[in-house]
Chain A
Amino acid sequence: MTEKHEMVHDPIATLRQMQALADTLCLSDDPLIAGQGRHLHGRITGFLSLLGDDVADLLGVTGNGETR
């Protein structure tokens, strides 16, 4: 429950971690893994934008595990 609470509390920070992990998949020598890594990376970028990571300070979320 604690873990779930933290994810909901700061989805931007969670997505940034996921994006870093997707980045490692992009570096794979296997093109099918690298392609899916790029897909994941792009989807996460979109999700971050929808959550407002570019305006987090104005929206009231920091992306650092805190809310304003």
Chain B
Amino acid sequence: MSTMLSAYEALSRPDLEAIQSRRVRALLTRAYRDSSFYRTKIDEAGVSPERIADLAAFRERVPFSTKAELLADQDRHPPFGSRLCVDRRDVALINLTGGTSGQGQETYGRTQADVQTLGYLHALAWYRAGLRPDHTVLNCVPTGGMTTGGWGPSEGIRIIGATGLTPPAALSTEAKIDLMLRFRPLHFIYASTNYLHRMTEVMGQLGIVPREAFPDLVGVFIAAEGYPLEWARRIQDLWGCTLHEGYGSTQCVGFAAGTGPQGAIGPDGGRGVMELFEWMTLCEVIDPESGQAVAPGEEGELVVTNLTIEASPVIRFRTGDRVRFVPAADRASALNAIECGGIGRYDDMMKIRGNNVWPDAVDAAVLAFAEVDEYVGRVFTADDGKTDVEIRVALKAAAAACSEAERGRIAGALRDAVKERTNVAMRVVFADRAELPEYTYKARRWSDERQKGYRL
């Protein structure tokens, strides 16, 4: 048992909100003093930090911030933007968001203290899910690079005192399973929803029963993608342990929420909840139109504020993520929560193989070809369990009549252009124009059929 964690978990709701309130005031004071970006925003809202006496005043008077604002600030004040709250020399790590939105990459400086927090905000979710010192944990999420999600897992595993098994992303699933068998006992797995599905499928093909091959597992932990409830039940049965889920992002500096001991399936057999780590990240769930808090049980957009981050804190950042709000009062707990399994987006962003892909970015790549008339795309789970992406392209009449070799050249160029824009390889197939829809208002070119393929 962790006395460090239980000190927070034992708080009453009023005590927790007192902690949030003090940290919010300290954050606003510091951001106002050290960041011209936040000073301008706060001044323009006609408030001063000393007048934000409590959380209600914070929610009522401090303005939201958006990705577009952060990017514009970076353009004016490269490379970190004027929201950086520390001396440039104190930045020990640079994190970037994926950049696949087509809008640009947010830049985040991290101090040494922030890096500690970044690791802890991974460790915290996994500790609550059962990972302990001396355990061996398989990390299937691509490591390194510029993203927070690439750095956090290794830091988190070390903070807990566990042994990390982090195979390179390019290694085949079969080779990863070999490693898992070689370094048994294995106690914990961290993977994207899709990759856990893929691993389960490959084990089935190899005649390996996960719960028999890895009887020491205490949990499998997924993030990033939704899933059907039936699939979650089947995963628990096949792996013989609890399925856990976390919600996190670069803006949250790791996980902002995670399942407790119960896991991703609730006590009633329905969807479980991820409790919000509210002493670290202030989370609001709002109606995206009105900006007001949603009622208990309703869906809304998650808005986050980092309470202890030094270098590049976000304040009331609109994530665009759609969550279902489960308030503390409904759960006899001090912590608010969000529902498992169904995190969505208010824009059309899709999470594909760990990349954030906006249809606009694919539009920009595909429709830039003069030969293209229209296209549709679909993301689905292929028979082998892997995520596959197909774009069906209708060429204009003149191009459609060209030689097979020329059509092959166009297909290759389309594939390259899409990969460059999104970092995701997509298959290109040609279709007749009549096979594709006519759009009379806003084009809805994409369908996400992955959950249909999660059958085990």
Contact = CB atoms under 8 A, between A and B. Distances in A.
Interface residues of B, number: 23
Interface string B108-147: 0001111111001000000000000000000000000000
A55 B19 contact: yes
B113 A46 contact: yes
B8 A59 contact: yes
Interface of B is mostly: helix
Contacts, number: 60
Contacts of A16: none
A49 B117 contact: yes
Interface in A12-46: 38-39, 41-43, 45-46
B4 A43 contact: no
A46 B112 contact: yes
A50 interface: yes
Nearest to B280: A50
B396 interface: no
Contacts of B92: 39, 42
A58 B117 CA distance: 20
Contact of A49 (B4, B11, B19, B113): B113
A58 B7 CA distance: 10
Contacts of A58: 15, 18-19, 22
Contact of A39 (B3, B15, B112, B114): B112
Interface centre among A38, A45, A61 (most CB of B within 10 A): A45
A35 to B, nearest CB: 10
Interface string A45-68: 111011110110011110000000
A23 B117 CA distance: 20
B113 A42 contact: yes
A45 B264 CA distance: 34
A46 B115 contact: yes
Nearest to B117: A46
A8 B7 CA distance: 13
A25 to B, nearest CB: 13
Interface of A is mostly: helix
A61 B29 CA distance: 24
Contacts of B18: 58
B271 interface: no
B117 A50 contact: yes
Contacts of B15: 58
A46 B253 CA distance: 13
Contacts of B22: 54-55, 58
A50 B19 contact: no
Given A39-B92, A59-B8, 10 more contacts: A41-B112, A42-B116, A43-B113, A43-B115, A47-B116, A49-B113, A52-B7, A55-B22, A58-B19, A59-B19
Interface of A: 8, 11, 38-39, 41-43, 45-47, 49-52, 54-55, 58-61
Interface of B: 3-4, 7-8, 11, 15, 18-19, 22-23, 26, 90, 92, 111-117, 120, 279, 308
29 contacts: A8-B3, A11-B4, A38-B112, A39-B112, A41-B112, A42-B90, A42-B92, A42-B111, A42-B112, A42-B113, A42-B115, A43-B116, A45-B112, A46-B112, A46-B114, A46-B115, A46-B117, A49-B117, A50-B117, A50-B308, A52-B7, A52-B8, A52-B19, A52-B279, A54-B23, A54-B26, A55-B19, A58-B22, A59-B19
